[in-house]
Amino acid sequence: MLLIHCPHCREAREEEEYSYRGEAHIVRPLAPESLSDEEWGDYLFFRSNPKGIHHEMWYHAVGCRRYFNVTRDTLTYEILESYLIGQQPAVTGATS
């Protein structure tokens, strides 16, 4: 069971308080109608699923009910950082 730091509550809490919301930094296109089916399909369905560093969104569902991002190693499950929506990760796959 993961121990996850919520950047809003500023506390590490048990995984049971959170729910996982998939890959982070998936930005909704500003003009969906201008996209081809393929481009829209990429936004809808395609995710990176990396082995190693992964930026993902978590939701403090039974805590502060805020969304935030986490950088997690999908191999070791180590959580390298938590950061706010709108911020960029300090740890990226390129540097690890």
Partner 1 sequence: MSRSIMQKNRLGSGACTDASKRIDFSFNGKAYQGVAGDTLASALLANGVDVVGRSFKYARPRGIVGHGAEEPNAIIQLGSGAATVPNLKATQVELYAGLEAFSVNGWPSVDFDLMGVIGAFGRLMPPGFYYKTFMYPKKLWMTYEHFIRKAAGLGATPVERDPDTYDKLNQHCDVLVVGAGPAGLVAAREAARAGARVIIADEQSQFGGSLLASTQTLDGIAATDWVAQLVAELQGFDNVQLLPRSTVFGYYDHNFLAILERRTDHLGLTADQGARQRLHRVRAKQVVLATGAFERPLVFAHNDIPGVMSACSVSTYINRYGVLPGNKLVLVTTNDSAYQTALDWHQAGRQVVAVVDTRTDPQGDSVNAVKALGIDVIDGHAVIEAQGSKRVKGALVAPINADGTAVTGSARGLNCDLIASSGGWSPAIHLSSHTGAKPQWDEQIVGFRPGESKQQERSAGACRGTYSLAACLAEGGNAGAEAAKLAGCGDGTIHFAAPVCQEYAQQPQQALFLLPHTQSTSRAPSQFVDFQLDVTAGGVELAVREGFESVEHVKRYTALGFGTDQGKLGNINGMAILANALGQSIAETGTTIFRPSYTPSTFGALAGRDVNQLFDPERYTAMHRWHVEQGAEFENVGQWKRPWYFPQSGETMFDAVNREGLAVRNSVGILDASTLGKIDIQGPDAAEFITRIYTNSYLKLAPGKCRYGVMLKEDGMIFDDGVCACLGDNHYLMFTTTGGAAGVLAWLELWQQTEWPELQVYFTSVTDHWTTATVSGPNARKVIAKVCADIDLSNQAFGFMDWRDGTVAGVKARVFRISFTGELSYEVNVPAHHGRHVWEQLMEAGAEFDITPYGTETMHVLRAEKGFIIVGQDTDGSMTPSDMNMDWVLGKNKTFSYLGKRSLERSDTTRDNRKQLVGLKTLVATEVIPEGAQIVFDSKQKIPMSMQGHVTSSYYSACLGHSIALAVVKGGLNRLGQIVYCPLADGRIIAAEIVSSVFYDPKGERHHVE
Span 22-51, contacts to partner 1 by CB under 8 A: 27-28, 31-33, 35, 37, 40-41, 43-45
Q: Does 1 bind partner 1 (CB under 8 A)?
A: yes
Report 53-72 residues binding partner 1 (CB under 8 A).
57, 59, 61, 65-67
Q: Is 57:24 a contact under the CB 8 Å cutoff?
A: yes
Alpha helices in the chain (DSSP H): 37-45
Q: Is 80 in the site for partner 1 (CB under 8 A)?
A: no
Instruction: Provide CB contacts within 8 A for 54, sequence distance 6+.
Output: 23, 48, 71, 72, 73, 74
Binding site for partner 1 (CB under 8 A): 1-3, 14, 19, 21, 27-28, 31-33, 35, 37, 40-41, 43-45, 57, 59, 61, 65-67, 76-77, 79, 85-86
